[in-house]
Chains A and B, each alone.
Chain A
């Protein structure tokens, strides 16, 4: 930023120390002299053009379609695939949150053995790679289970949902435990003095106060989970990634590769970026109060 202070008319009869400070400011950095918003935008467009134009410039040749056409043609399929990913993420989040809150409450139990077992479970699922847990669930959960005399089918995506909910459970357990520990001990004491038992204290007083503290982390976890859903394509679920690769091999065009993958990346970006931005805003809002 360049700034300078105009030298005022000389003041006679005063000591130099009373004169206002003259500053020439800092010189504009070279990068900003060369690049400003305009040149940056031009540069960006140039790069984009370099990547995309060879693909777009495909003309004629036996009714060869342009890349743009192909992308548009595949969009409904990709959209439905992406919706499937969102469904998986929502289901996993729901299951993982319920299990995680329970596990987190167990981690602060007055019984030492309960605390230790739940801690071990939390650490185990926290430190396991998500893909390995997915494989575990896909391969080891039988494809149907006999419960109470009826056969309950377990399609692949349900197993994937369970597989993804395990790390969510572990992370939620940590968040819940941290939030409960951050509630001042005076709350527990005054509840106890009023005659509340532990379950009532937890339900009426402690947990409602933790919700606000956990919310930003919970939203961030959802964004991370959504970005982990393409993993299910590795274990055989037909999500947007599997569909994309099928589409690419169906089209068989090398120049489609980069645009198609960029396209998928954009879908995820447009979905996840608002969540991250909202999370950051909530974090700032809540941190002031605590």
Chain B
């Protein structure tokens, strides 16, 4: 590309060409990529919530060792880059974890899709542990004591009283984390999972329409995130307890 003058570079005429809408083949591929992103997002969200809930419960345990282990797990995933975590799982552990396939050649045990899910779930799950922990600790001690006085056992208290209140308190932070998770699914590009960014990159390398694809891509992600934000907002409204909290 020759040196372009600044004015020419800023021309807006590429705003209105949405390539995937017009071309049928591309549209099919794009929708497949979109579906892959949605799958990655939803499965990772669900798994990360489970990881977060279990981890938060473990962090309240009486065993100091358990607390330390969970603390280390959270510290590790919070303070290391998610991309490097993904590479670690896929390239390092994935290469080692191979079983002999049908034709005698080593076959990876977990596909790249699987590793992406595992890595993303653990990463978001570690952050969720902290969020849930903060929510659990925000439940007033007096409420828990009242439940104890009524004869509730520890697990029952956690399930029926602490968790419902903690979820409501931590919803805003949780929502932010889940939105970040959806954005983080793009990392799967690096290990050739055919999600939205990967498919888009294929299309623009074939058709050389980077600008148009970029716009479509950005709009798609804004739309996906927008849907998620709306769902969370709706959920938060439904869960709201009158007179409690803000």
Contacts and interface: CB of A to CB of B under 8 A. Distances in A.
A129 interface: yes
Contact of A131 (B69, B186, B225): B186
Interface residues of A, number: 53
A146 B3 contact: yes
Chain B binding surface SS class: helix
Contact of A32 (B62, B75, B96): B62
Contacts of B189: 131, 234
Contacts of A136: 214, 218
A264 B79 CA distance: 12
Interface string B1-13: 1011110010000
Contacts of B190: 234
Interface stretch (A3-11, A12-20, A255-263): A255-263
Contact of A132 (B1, B69, B218): B218
A127 B226 CA distance: 8
B109 interface: no
Contact of B81 (A144, A227, A257): A227
A276 B211 contact: no
Chain A binding surface SS class: helix
Interface stretch (A95-103, A181-189, A202-210, A266-274): A266-274
B221 interface: yes
A121 to B, nearest CB: 12
A143 interface: yes
Contacts of B226: 127
Contacts of B201: 135
Contact of B3 (A36, A128, A145): A145
B63 A231 contact: no
A154 to B, nearest CB: 10
A286 interface: no
B225 A127 contact: yes
Interface string A110-142: 000000000000011001111110011001101
Contacts of A139: 210, 214
11 contacts: A129-B221, A130-B186, A131-B197, A142-B4, A226-B81, A231-B187, A241-B83, A257-B95, A261-B91, A272-B79, A276-B79
A129 B84 contact: no
Contacts of B214: 132, 135-136, 139-140
Interface of B: 1, 3-6, 9, 61-66, 68-69, 75-76, 78-85, 87-88, 91-93, 95-96, 179, 183-187, 189-190, 197, 201, 210-211, 214, 217-218, 221-222, 225-226, 229
Contacts of A261: 84, 87-88, 91-92
Contact of B79 (A37, A124, A273): A273
Contact of A135 (B1, B5, B79, B197): B197
A258 B186 contact: no
Given A129-B186, A131-B189, A258-B96, A142 B81 contact: no
Given A147-B6, A227-B82, A241-B83, A127 B88 contact: no
A262 B93 CA distance: 11
A151 B75 contact: no
Contact of A128 (B78, B85, B183): B183
